[in-house]
Amino acid sequence: MWKPDRESAVPLYRQIADRLQEMIVHGEYPPGSPLPSERKLAEQFGVNRSTVVLAYAELRSLGLVESRPGSKTQVSSNCNHAASRTPEWHRYAENGGFLPNVPFLRRIRDALAQDTAIIDFASGKLSTDLSPIREINEIMHSCTYHPDNGSDVSQGFPLLREALASFLERNRGIRTSPSSILITSGSQQSLYLISQCLLSPGDAIAVETPSFTRSLSMFQSAGLRIYPLPLDEHGVRPESIRELYSRHRIKMLFVNPNFQNPTGTLLQADRKKLLLDTASELGLPIVEDDPISLTAYNMDYPLPIKAEDASSNTLYIGSFSKIAAAGLRIGWIVAPKSVISRLADARKQMDIGFSVIPQQIAAAFIESPLFMPHLDRLRLQLQLKLNATVAALHEHLNGLVQFSVPQGGLHLWCKIVPTVQDGKFLDEALRRGVAFVPGSVYGAEPGYMRLTYARPQVEEIEEGIKRLAAALLAASE
């Protein structure tokens, strides 16, 4: 009997929808005939009922099935395949130059969308209790809107760029000017603009491995050749850069030195200097992603590479999504003016102009007396959640996972001791109502996972780890 392939890149609901469409087209389910109930089909295929619900929704969108309140789902009575055919839209959706998200991330996203009760160690964002909701609402009441208030400035709202220039010098040791800053809608758009505008298909780049950027399809979509820049417990190993440059003529380095995502490592000062010196000697641009260094626990904020870059080798990417209000979607790039001009032109072609309202709110928040106290509370609460996660891991997964406790950030990187398949472990976890991200998503070998402790509530953490322990034991049998 046919079963969906859990190792396939095609989501389970799509496999089921394709199978049913094939049966309808070949007359196994003629027009007007009833289809099996969602529960029965879920049992037959060994999937969650919500997966079958999505499959039937896909068939309804194609006009192949219909459902009426109080009755079974049935093949559409006017479904005449000999006379006409609906375009196979999902086939079109599989084409195009921009690749879809990786299968594990789609599976996690679909599960979280279907079941809001899942304890979420997967989403890389703050929980609502860590977000400055009161502060942002207070600022919003004082902001006024005018349709010509900076909306036509392709680099971003001038007052925000001025506020960012002061903020970066004060808190990150970066001296720059508003004209060298481009406002984006987050780090991912910054990376997308760089990959599309500053590199060409066939170019080689070096990316930390594992790394959050390895989970993004944008580099493959741009036709770039990706080579791993190895990491250890002290961060990226810069001595490997020369060999990569010699063998593959890499044209750009992508690094996340401070509380790296997903490993949480902090790049040591001597390695930071060696990386910068090597890149400067080879004329290699460094793209530095620095979204969470302001979450440092019990230590001074670690400086970015950009703060020590006297030769302007570094393109610096920042964001408020991981430390403040993710809903504002405020990110930025600090770069030479010629680069900013090129990226700003491309950005304007993409979306005409970024909404001035969230930029205005962000500018006011950065310069308000509310911002630094928010960061202080954020660090304390994140450390509380980290401590709760570490305690729960020692209690319920002792001997089953290995990890180092990070000095900041949002993520805990765990090596799984028992041999287990990533897909099976994830399925068992989602079935028990807890989500995590397999390490292979970030380019690691199988047997690792990333836990984002910033997302669950404190009172959910121990229960979530208990569920993970049960899932791991079931998956490793």
Q: What is the pLDDT of residues 9-39, one digit of tens each?
A: 788 999 999 999 888 888 888 888 888 888 8
* Whole-number Å distance between alpha carbons of 12 and 409: 33
406 falls in which pLDDT band (50, 70, 90)? very high
Residue 15's contacts (CB-CB under 8 Å, 6 or more residues apart) are 4, 5, 8
* Cα-based angle 125, 130, 133 (whole degrees, multiple of 5): 105
Tell how many helices (H) and how many strands (E) occur in the chain: 16, 16
Q: pLDDT (tens digit, 9 = 90+) per residue, 168-207? A: 999 999 999 999 999 998 899 999 999 999 999 999 999 9
Sign of CA dihedral 115, 121, 122, 127: positive
**Rounded percentage of the chain residues whose pLDDT exceeds 70:** 94
Cα 472 to Cα 438: distance, rounded to the nearest angstrom:
12
Q: Half-sphere exposure of residue 472, counting CA atoms within 13 Å on the CB side? A: 25
Pair 266, 407: CB distance under 8 Å: yes
How many whole angstroms separate alpha carbon 468 and alpha carbon 432?
8
Taking domain 145-368, whether its CATH number is 3.40.1080.10 is answered by: no
Q: Which of 116, 105, 145 is nearest to 357 (CA)?
A: 145
* CA distances in angstroms from 384 to 191, 273, 400, 435, listed in the order given: 32, 32, 23, 20
CATH code 1.10.10.10 region(s) in the chain: 12-94
3-state helix, strand, coil in the chain (%, to 5): 45, 15, 40
Confidence check: pLDDT of 83 > 50:
no
Which pLDDT belongs to residue 247?
Answer: 95
For residue 203, give every residue at least 6 positions away whose Cβ sits within 8 Å of its Cβ, in sequence order, or none.
224, 225, 251, 252
Q: Are 247 and 224 contacting, i.e. CB atoms less than 8 angstroms apart? A: no
Q: Which CATH class is domain 103-130+373-475?
A: alpha beta
Q: Are 155 and 318 in contact (CB under 8 A)?
A: no
Q: Tell how strand 119-120 and strand 225-232 pair up.
A: unpaired
List every span in the chain annotated with CATH 3.40.640.10.
145-368
Which residue intervals of 152-235 are DSSP H helices? 158-172, 187-197, 218-221
Ranges in the chain annotated CATH 3.90.1150.10: 103-130+373-475
What phi and psi, each to the nearest 5 degrees, are found at residue 407?
-95, 5
Least confident of 78-92, 134-148, 175-189, 434-448: 78-92
Percent pLDDT > 90 in the chain is 61
Q: What is the pLDDT of residue 82?
A: 44
3-state secondary structure of 242: helix
pLDDT, mean over the chain: 90
Q: What is the pTM of this model?
A: 0.82
Nearest Cα neighbor of 334 from 343, 321, 322 is: 343
Q: Is the predicted pLDDT of residue 408 greater than 90, yes or no?
A: yes
> Does 447 score more than 90 pLDDT?
yes
| pLDDT, position 150 | 53
Length of the chain: 477
- What would the CATH number be for the domain defined by 12-94? 1.10.10.10
